[in-house]
Chain A
């Protein structure tokens, strides 16, 4: 019975994190973007600096009518938001936030593969949405999503493989246990490749070609309204949390920190994740959208060679150490 309770508590905690952190990132995006653009952002909802804006948005979405276009493929159209959102919840289960045994939802032996595999499934949601909407813009958005995923999945995997080589394990807690501070400069190229490819997989600016509003309205999500639309937005922010958390765990040492590694490991993890999330928002405000051909060129001619070079470097250093 104790085991069941333990599992239940873990799942509840993971679910709570899954519900809270994306909203925090979303609210941070409102405010950070506003300040970077010399304005205030939402100021009224909730009183203090509009902290309740996203809650109000959620209420608004829940009140809206849930529309399915007449020509759409009903079931696929309605299923798509769940397919887009659930993978990120599953990924969070495997992310360790502290050094102790209990600081991870579930230890997965092949953690890196689990995380990357499940994240890849989320993109199916966008494809389903794009196809089932019976809308040209949606279909174009779905196509761009697929092309982008095919291009950026490979560098992401290669960069993650480099870390796995360095640590000699593919389990996420195992990688953190093997982490040394000098891995940071050693794996820095891989970290950049991983982060950039992850951004592209999330379709965040500057890689938001699939949802380019000036060209194809909102891509695959054009026909959605109400709660299902909110679920897609939530999936995007959950994706940011997952990507930043994963980069933290794989490349930035997770719970390792200059001090207090024992009791305060989870603080370091959250801090690093938050800084990375800030960078994600920062990039959105800073860079213009990449064109489709630039996007493909970046993946195939820059990121993949860099990732391969990182793997070679990792191998050489690894052999030299042994």
Chain B
């Protein structure tokens, strides 16, 4: 498919895979833009599915099969479901929601543009002279990824898992905050953030806001059943 491209790679004679890569990238970018500009809340979440799925396709085109499926599994299968769950529990009107717009849009755009620039610069600078041989054995196969992860990158991997564990413990602590105050005391004393919402609503919104991982729903589900049992 790639005649002699591995010898002297360049941008001027794009191969089929490279063209596909660029096209999918454009589609992903478009979906991401729609995600942040659409006025309909749930549509934003659904466009996010398209953007994340497009990213997975990009990984596939770069022969990183394992990463691609993990991307779909974690982001599309769990994070977006969590987002939709949170939206449906709190408010998910059909049609436009004018109050979904933020006054910070220009600051947000600036921050987004700056972080994108930094990321592009770092990635481009780091991999400037590295070329993936798309014809050879898959360099992103599960075996290669696993060996790399557990041979060269064990420390960051373990540090990340400790970080996630801390987030998990934190989520449990947060969701159990009013446990001691529940019997006898005034429930209104508990520091609630969302004014006027029913207790069930903002309690369930917590895992959606930090949007980190599916296990965050653990304390939420557990505490709800406990509370229904006691009250």
Query: What residues of chain A have their CB less than 8 Å away from a CB belonging to chain B?
Result: 71-73, 76, 108-110, 113-114, 116-118, 120-121, 123-124, 127-128, 130-132, 134, 139, 142-143, 146-147, 149-151, 153-154, 157, 169-171, 293, 296-297, 300
Q: Is the CB of B142 within 8 A of A120?
A: no
Expressed in whole angstroms, the Cα–Cα distance for A132 and B41 within the complex equals 12
Q: How many residues of B sit at the interface, in one of the four size bands?
A: 35 or more
Q: Are A296 and B225 in contact, with the CB atoms below 8 A?
A: yes
Contact of A143 among B66, B89, B218, B228 (CB under 8 A): B89
The answer for the CA separation of A297 and B222 in the assembled complex, in Å, is 7
Please name the 3 residue pairs, one residue from A and one from B, whose CB atoms are nearest each other, closest first: A120-B77, A117-B73, A113-B69
Query: Which B residues touch A171, using CB under 8 A?
Result: 142
Contact indicator B84/A109 (Cβ below 8 Å): no
A149 closest partner in B (C-beta): B81
- For this complex, 18 residue pairs linking A to B, each with C-beta atoms less than 8 Å apart, are A76-B42, A109-B65, A113-B66, A116-B77, A117-B69, A117-B72, A123-B77, A123-B81, A124-B49, A124-B81, A131-B92, A139-B88, A147-B217, A150-B78, A151-B221, A153-B78, A293-B224, A300-B222
Q: Shortest CB–CB separation between residue B112 and chain A, in angstroms?
A: 25
With A128-B46, A132-B94, A143-B88 in contact, is A117–B228 under 8 Å at CB?
A: no
Q: Are B214 and A71 in contact (CB under 8 A)?
A: no
Q: Are A150 and B66 in contact (CB under 8 A)?
A: no
Q: How many A-B residue contacts, CB cutoff 8 Å?
A: 111
Contacts of A73 in B (CB 8 A): 40, 42, 94-95
Provide the bound-state CA to CA distance between A300 and B85, in Å: 18
Q: Please, how many angstroms separate the alpha-carbon atoms of A72 and B198 in the complex?
A: 26
B→A interface (CB under 8 Å): 40, 42-43, 46, 49, 65-66, 69-70, 72-73, 76-78, 80-82, 84-85, 88-89, 92, 94-95, 138, 141-142, 214-215, 217-218, 221-222, 224-225, 228-229
- Asked if B46 contacts A113 (CB within 8 A), the reply is no
A-side contacts of B224, CB under 8 Å: 293, 296
Closest to B141 in A: A109
Q: Which of A134, A139, A293 has its CB near the most chain B CB atoms (within 10 A)? A: A293
Q: How far is B72's CA from A157's CA once the two chains are assembled, in angstroms?
A: 14
Nearest CB to that of B146 among chain A residues?
Answer: A170
- Residues of chain A within 8 A (CB-CB) of B49 are 124
What chain A residues lie within 8 Å of B94 (beta carbons)? 71-73, 131-132, 134
New A-B pairs, 17, CB < 8 Å, besides A110-B65, A143-B88: A109-B138, A113-B66, A113-B142, A117-B73, A120-B81, A121-B72, A121-B77, A124-B76, A131-B88, A146-B81, A146-B88, A147-B85, A147-B217, A171-B142, A293-B229, A296-B221, A300-B221
